[in-house]
Homo-oligomer: A and B are copies of this chain.
Amino acid sequence: MQTLNVDLGDRSYPIYIGNNLLTQADLLRPHIVGKQVMIVSNTTVAPLYLAQLKATLGDQYQVAEVILPDGEQYKTLEYVNHIFDGLLKNRFNRTCTLIALGGGVIGDMTGFAASAYQRGVSFIQIPTTLLSQVDSSVGGKTGVNHPLGKNMIGAFWQPKAVLADTQVLKTLPERELAAGIAEVIKYGLICDPEFFQWLNINMPALLNQNDNTLAEAVYRSCLNKASVVAEDETETGVRATLNLGHTFGHAIETEQGYGKWLHGEAVATGMLMAAELSQREGWLSAEDVKAVRDILISANLPIVAPSDMSAQAFLQHMAVDKKVLDGSLRLVLLHKIGQAVITNQFNQDNLMKTLNSGVQLGQI
Residues of A whose CB lies within 8 Å of any CB of B are 34-35, 77, 81, 84-85, 88-89, 91, 93-95, 112, 115-120, 141-143, 146, 148-149, 152-156, 234, 319-320, 322, 324-327
Contact = CB atoms under 8 A, between A and B. Distances in A.
A325 B94 contact: yes
Q: Name, among A112, A119, A143, the residue most crowded by chain B CB atoms within 10 Å (CB to CB).
A: A119
Contacts of A322: 93-94, 118
B117 A153 contact: yes
Chain A binding site: helix, strand, loop or mixed by DSSP? mixed
A95 B325 CA distance: 7
A85 B117 contact: no
Given A91-B320, A93-B327, A326-B95, A148 B85 contact: yes
A-B pairs, 10 with minimum CB distance: A88-B148, A119-B154, A118-B322, A116-B153, A91-B320, A93-B324, A95-B326, A94-B322, A119-B156, A119-B155
Report how many copies the assembly holds: 2
Contact of A84 (B35, B146, B326): B146
Contacts of A152: 84, 88, 117-118
Nearest to A113: B153
28 contacts: A77-B81, A85-B146, A85-B148, A88-B146, A88-B148, A88-B149, A88-B152, A88-B320, A91-B319, A93-B325, A93-B327, A95-B325, A95-B326, A116-B116, A116-B153, A116-B155, A117-B153, A118-B152, A118-B153, A118-B154, A119-B141, A119-B142, A119-B143, A119-B155, A119-B156, A119-B234, A120-B155, A120-B234
A231 to B, nearest CB: 17
A16 to B, nearest CB: 26
